[in-house]
């Protein structure tokens, strides 16, 4: 699924938290936020798309998920945080190359062609991965290991990047062909940008086959590379992106420009991103997978980047200037995003409230984030009670309406959007601070449920107010408008 991911190590964030965030850019998928209780988790999982069946372990943890409201194509859990305070986002669709795919083919569903034959199941994919992994892990590292075992046993039918975080570590994992994989711990002072491409550009194989402090991979990865002549690197340097990834013309329109904009924002002083002497341009294949940001990264920074449309550059589709380059690159914030979730794990907070999940529905460019405590029995109806019919009674559809109206009247509506986004962050943070203090002072962590209701009440009021404003603005600018002096 075309998405954009940002990962933030604990020493790169302003408050010492780890953060993983991703836009889930589907096909206008209708999404909701739910809590999955252990008693509701089945003992055997069956994929809708690939028909693979997976036996599940005992004693799953409670966890949040952002599934599709329409289950016809499966659950598509997307992202969540479990009761152990481990976050996961699955998945960022990435690229590969024919050398890899021919050496370790994807495990695709083979439907029966004759009477009496049975379908041959495919592997696991984005539809399945969150549900198969998140309920059974107690650290980010465990997430890598559990998913690795599933890939090796069942294989996959697509190329994916998956992120995990706990209070200390962030891990990024990328699949290689049908069964192989590679994973690296994000440096504590690092920030990773992943725009639908194989991302890892540096990897310590000695560590992966030794202590595994910061690197892990398939047990036979060295042999796999050697036997299939995959190593295109020179001078003894191992760059996984050159070995397993792609460098296509479409990458330069669809993927690398997003990495360029995000890198430009995060490191405006330590790297040159513009002009004749730029180190990296929008079509550069060597934009670093991980950067040390020039200043500490906040939740607001992550949201801004995941909402970006090349503002301040000639490529902005909303610019009023005739730059000759408007809209030539795929924006980060796009119209068909279903949900964007940021999993924040705060290491300096009590175990019961260290996790906060920030939720945004629809096009990130025009919509706002609301924070919630994930370790609760259920989510407020404003997030969870979503149907396939448009309604102002839930955050998903109200957000979709705001974006659709504001997009067509960008110049006049953007002021309402910016005020809305700022107010949601301000009041959301205030309520989280208020309830953090209440719970730490009283020791009553059941107040998380009350807090979430208060947060969603605030979000509904702010969202309805903004919808009213952009609707009025859109009505004023309708093409059939006509005024008479004597009306």
Residue-by-residue pLDDT tens, the chain, 487 positions: 689 999 999 999 999 999 999 999 999 999 999 999 999 888 999 999 999 999 999 999 999 999 999 999 899 999 999 999 999 999 999 999 999 999 999 999 999 998 989 999 999 999 999 999 999 999 999 999 999 999 999 999 999 999 999 999 999 999 999 999 999 999 999 999 999 999 999 999 999 999 999 999 999 999 999 999 999 887 788 999 999 999 899 999 999 999 999 999 999 999 999 999 999 999 999 999 999 999 999 999 999 999 999 999 999 999 999 999 999 999 999 999 999 999 999 999 999 999 999 999 999 999 999 999 999 999 999 999 999 999 999 999 999 999 999 999 999 999 999 999 999 999 999 999 999 999 999 999 999 999 999 999 999 999 999 999 999 999 999 999 987 765 5
Cα radius of gyration rounded to whole Å, the chain: 23
Please check whether residue 92 is in contact with residue 73, taking contact to mean a CB–CB distance below 8 angstroms: no
Q: What single-letter DSSP state applies at residue 296?
A: -
Kindly report the backbone phi and psi dihedral angles of residue 120, in degrees, each rounded to the nearest multiple of 5, phi listed first: -100, 115
Question: Do 20 and 148 lie in a common domain?
Answer: yes
Domain for residue 372, yes or no?
Answer: no
Question: Do 410 and 360 lie in a common domain?
Answer: no
Domain containing residue 146: CATH number: 3.60.60.10
Tally of CB atoms within 10 A around 455: 24
| CA-based nearest residue to 331, from 353, 302, 306 | 306
How far is CA 191 from its chain centroid?
Answer: 14
Question: Do 399 and 345 lie in a common domain?
Answer: no
Question: Do 360 and 481 lie in a common domain?
Answer: no
Residue 234: its pLDDT value, please? 78
Domain for residue 129, yes or no?
Answer: yes
Question: Do 311 and 400 lie in a common domain?
Answer: no
What's the domain range around 483?
385-487
User: For the chain, how many structural domains are there in total?
Assistant: 2
Question: Do 43 and 160 lie in a common domain?
Answer: yes
Domain for residue 375, yes or no?
Answer: no
pTM (two decimals): 0.97
| CA-based nearest residue to 331, from 21, 8, 3 | 3
Question: Do 393 and 326 lie in a common domain?
Answer: no
Do you find a cis peptide bond into 91, omega within 30 degrees of 0?
Answer: yes
Question: Do 480 and 433 lie in a common domain?
Answer: yes
Domain for residue 202, yes or no?
Answer: yes
Question: Do 345 and 419 lie in a common domain?
Answer: no
Question: Do 226 and 156 lie in a common domain?
Answer: yes
Question: Do 324 and 452 lie in a common domain?
Answer: no
Domain for residue 379, yes or no?
Answer: no
Q: What is residue 223's three-state secondary structure?
A: helix
Domain for residue 370, yes or no?
Answer: no
Domain for residue 378, yes or no?
Answer: no
Domain for residue 373, yes or no?
Answer: no
Question: Do 87 and 200 lie in a common domain?
Answer: yes
With a CB cutoff of 8 Å and minimum separation 6, the contacts of 448 are 352, 353, 373, 375, 376, 435, 439
Which tokens in the block code for residue 472?
């009025």
Catalytic residue list contains 232:
no
The span from the CA of 372 to the CA of 357, in Å, is: 5
Catalytic residue among 3, 191, 290, 456: 3
Q: Out of 310, 337, 365, pick the residue that ends a domain.
A: 365
The span from the CA of 17 to the CA of 443, in Å, is: 22
Strand partners, 343: 20, 357
Q: Return left, alpha or beta for 212; rule: phi > 0 is left, psi -120 to 50 is alpha, else beta.
A: left
The span from the CA of 382 to the CA of 397, in Å, is: 10
């Amino acid at each position: 699924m075309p998405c954009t991911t940002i990962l933030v190590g604990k020493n790169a964030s302003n408050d010492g938290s780890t953060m993983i965030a991703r836009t889930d850019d589907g096909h206008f998928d209708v999404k909701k936020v739910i809590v999955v209780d252990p008693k509701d988790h089945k003992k055997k999982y069956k994929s809708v798309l690939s028909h693979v069946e997976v036996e599940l372990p005992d004693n799953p943890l409670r966890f949040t998920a952002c599934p599709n409201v329409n289950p016809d194509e499966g659950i598509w859990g997307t992202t969540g945080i479990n009761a152990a305070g481990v976050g996961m986002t699955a998945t960022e669709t990435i690229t590969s190359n024919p050398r890899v795919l021919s050496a370790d083919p994807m495990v695709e569903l083979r439907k029966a062609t004759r009477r009496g034959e049975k379908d041959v199941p495919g592997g696991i994919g984005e539809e399945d991965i969150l549900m198969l992994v998140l309920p059974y892990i107690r650290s980010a590292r465990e997430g890598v290991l559990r998913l690795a075992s599933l890939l090796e046993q069942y294989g996959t039918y697509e190329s994916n990047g998956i992120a995990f975080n706990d209070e200390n570590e962030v891990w990024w994992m990328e699949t290689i062909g049908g069964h192989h994989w590679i994973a690296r711990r994000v440096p504590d002072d690092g920030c990773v940008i992943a725009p639908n491409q194989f991302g890892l550009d540096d990897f310590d194989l000695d560590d992966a086959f030794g202590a595994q402090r910061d690197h892990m991979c398939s047990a036979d990865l060295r042999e796999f590379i050697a036997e299939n002549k995959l190593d295109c690197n020179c001078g003894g340097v191992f760059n996984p992106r050159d070995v397993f990834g792609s460098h296509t013309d479409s990458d330069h329109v669809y993927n690398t420009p997003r990495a360029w904009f995000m890198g430009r924002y995060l490191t405006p002083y330590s790297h040159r991103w513009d002009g004749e002497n730029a180190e990296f341009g929008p079509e550069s294949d060597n934009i670093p997978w991980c950067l040390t940001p020039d200043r500490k990264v906040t939740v607001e920074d992550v949201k801004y980047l995941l909402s970006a449309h090349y503002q301040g550059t000639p490529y902005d589709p909303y610019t009023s200037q005739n730059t000759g380059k408007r809209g030539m690159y795929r924006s980060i914030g796009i119209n068909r995003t279903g949900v964007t979730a940021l999993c924040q794990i705060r290491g300096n907070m009590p175990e019961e409230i260290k996790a906060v999940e920030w939720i945004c529905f629809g096009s990130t460019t025009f919509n706002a984030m609301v924070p919630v405590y994930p370790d609760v029995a259920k989510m407020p109806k404003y997030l969870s009670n979503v149907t396939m019919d448009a309604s102002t009674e839930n955050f998903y559809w109200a957000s979709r309406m705001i974006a659709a109206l504001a997009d067509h009247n960008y110049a006049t509506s953007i002021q309402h959007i910016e005020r809305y986004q700022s107010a949601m962050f301000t009041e959301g943070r205030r309520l989280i601070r208020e309830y953090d203090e209440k719970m730490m002072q009283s020791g009553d962590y059941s107040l998380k449920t009350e807090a979430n209701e208060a947060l969603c009440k605030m979000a509904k009021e702010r969202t309805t107010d903004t919808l009213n404003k952009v609707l009025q603005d859109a009505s004023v600018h309708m093409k059939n408008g006509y005024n008479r002096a004597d009306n």
